[in-house]
């Protein structure tokens, strides 16, 4: 086991533990903060994979943008900090069995399969390459992602506005 592996497993552990806390925590604030570590862990793995640009983007967007937004949302929502969110489990036994089977199969797949391994490439300018790819090879995908985000935006605005209109109606 090389140092490289060691670092990888460290990050993986961080991701798993913090992701578990996100789900299991009873207080939403704890969940939100725990998510921070998950995102950082993922960024760390990107760094290990030599994907510097993606790692940076991960930190800026997920940690700097999305997470902060979530925490703001939590903070600004009335009384949500005191709400006990439901994290009780039911149907424990069946779900353990099913996820055990699925998990076992996946582990078997991951350990036994001959994955196609790409030649490691050392790129000095990843940003340029990504940019080039996005506007040539995957241009259509890039554009499509834009439309998807726009649709998501419209949807969220619609849902948000719906609430507002309803409250206005109630006030009237």
Footprint of another protein (CB under 8 A): 105-106, 108-109, 112-116, 118, 132, 136-141, 144-145, 147-148, 150-152, 154-155, 158-159, 161-162, 165-166
10 vs 161 by CB, closer to another protein: 161
* Pick from 3, 4, 12: nearest CA to 110: 12
Q: Whole-number minimum distance, CB 80 to another protein, in Å?
A: 18
* CA atoms within 13 A of residue 103's CA, in its CB half-sphere: 6
89 vs 114 by CB, closer to another protein: 114
72 vs 138 by CB, closer to another protein: 138
64 vs 146 by CB, closer to another protein: 146
Rounded to whole angstroms, the Cα distance separating 33 from 13 reads 17
* Pick from 33, 30, 93: nearest CA to 63: 33
Buried b (16+ CB within 10 A) or exposed e, 17-43: ebbebbeebebbeebbbbbbbbbbbbb
Q: Whole-number minimum distance, CB 119 to another protein, in Å?
A: 10
Q: Whole-number minimum distance, CB 3 to another protein, in Å?
A: 25
């Amino acid at each position: 086991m090389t140092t490289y592996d060691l670092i990888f497993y460290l990050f993986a552990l961080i991701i798993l533990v913090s992701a578990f806390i996100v789900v299991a925590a009873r207080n939403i604030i704890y969940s939100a903060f725990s998510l921070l570590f998950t995102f950082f862990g993922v960024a760390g793995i990107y760094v290990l994979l030599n994907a510097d640009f993606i790692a940076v983007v991960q930190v800026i967007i997920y940690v700097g943008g999305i997470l902060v937004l979530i925490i703001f949302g939590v903070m600004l929502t009335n009384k949500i900090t005191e709400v006990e969110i439901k994290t009780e489990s039911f149907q424990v036994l069946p779900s353990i069995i099913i996820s055990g089977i699925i998990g076992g199969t996946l582990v078997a797949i991951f350990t036994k399969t001959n994955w196609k391994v790409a030649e490691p490439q050392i790129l000095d300018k990843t940003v340029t390459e990504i940019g080039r790819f996005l506007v040539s090879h995957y241009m259509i995908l890039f554009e499509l992602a834009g439309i998807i985000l726009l649709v998501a935006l419209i949807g969220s605005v619609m849902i948000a506005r719906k609430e507002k209109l309803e409250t206005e109606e109630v006030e009237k």
